[in-house]
Amino acid sequence: MRTVSLGKWTSTDPKRNRFRYYHLYLTEDLWGKMCLVKAWGRIGQGGRQKLYWPASDEELAQLLQEEILRRKKRGYVPRFSSPQSPTLTHRSGKTRSINAYGPPTI
């Protein structure tokens, strides 16, 4: 099963006891269809997830654009787990660089 991280965001404000995270990623379901997963919650705690099965690449792009704008509006800051850009590794061993704000690059 392939999983591609599209972006991670955090929103912290110790004065308001606010420690939140938001994560968007693509993954395959059991039938091989790609679905968009939105995961959110308090940092260090279990969170919630919502799954979407976009009908087309255009619908997926629209969902991503709306979510990125919504996170920015609500004060979330983009975070990556490493200084490198995220990559997709296929079970065949091939890797691709993934840009969270644009199409995959090879």
User: Does residue 34 have a pLDDT over 90?
Assistant: no
3-class DSSP assignment, residue 9: strand
Range of the domain at 37: 3-97
Mean pLDDT estimate for the chain? 80
Instruction: Tell me, yes or no, whether 80 lies in a domain.
Output: yes
What H or E segment, with its residue span, contains residue 88? strand 87-89
Instruction: Tell me, yes or no, whether 28 lies in a domain.
Output: yes
Tell me the per-residue pLDDT of 48-100, one tens digit each, with 9 for 90 and over.
Answer: 999 999 888 889 889 888 988 999 999 899 886 544 455 555 567 666 554 44
Instruction: Tell me, yes or no, whether 102 lies in a domain.
Output: no
pLDDT at 104: 43
Instruction: Tell me, yes or no, whether 103 lies in a domain.
Output: no
Q: Is the pTM of this model over 0.85?
A: no
Looking at the structure of the chain, the number of domains it has is 1
Instruction: Tell me, yes or no, whether 74 lies in a domain.
Output: yes
DSSP for 15-80 reads: GGTEEEEEEEEEEE-TTS-EEEEEEEEETTS--EEEEE--SSHHHHHHHHHHHHHHHHHTT-EEE-
19 DSSP β-pair partners: 12
Instruction: Tell me, yes or no, whether 88 lies in a domain.
Output: yes
The domain that holds 78 is classified in CATH as 2.20.140.10
The CB density around residue 72, as the number of other CB atoms within 10 Å, is 12
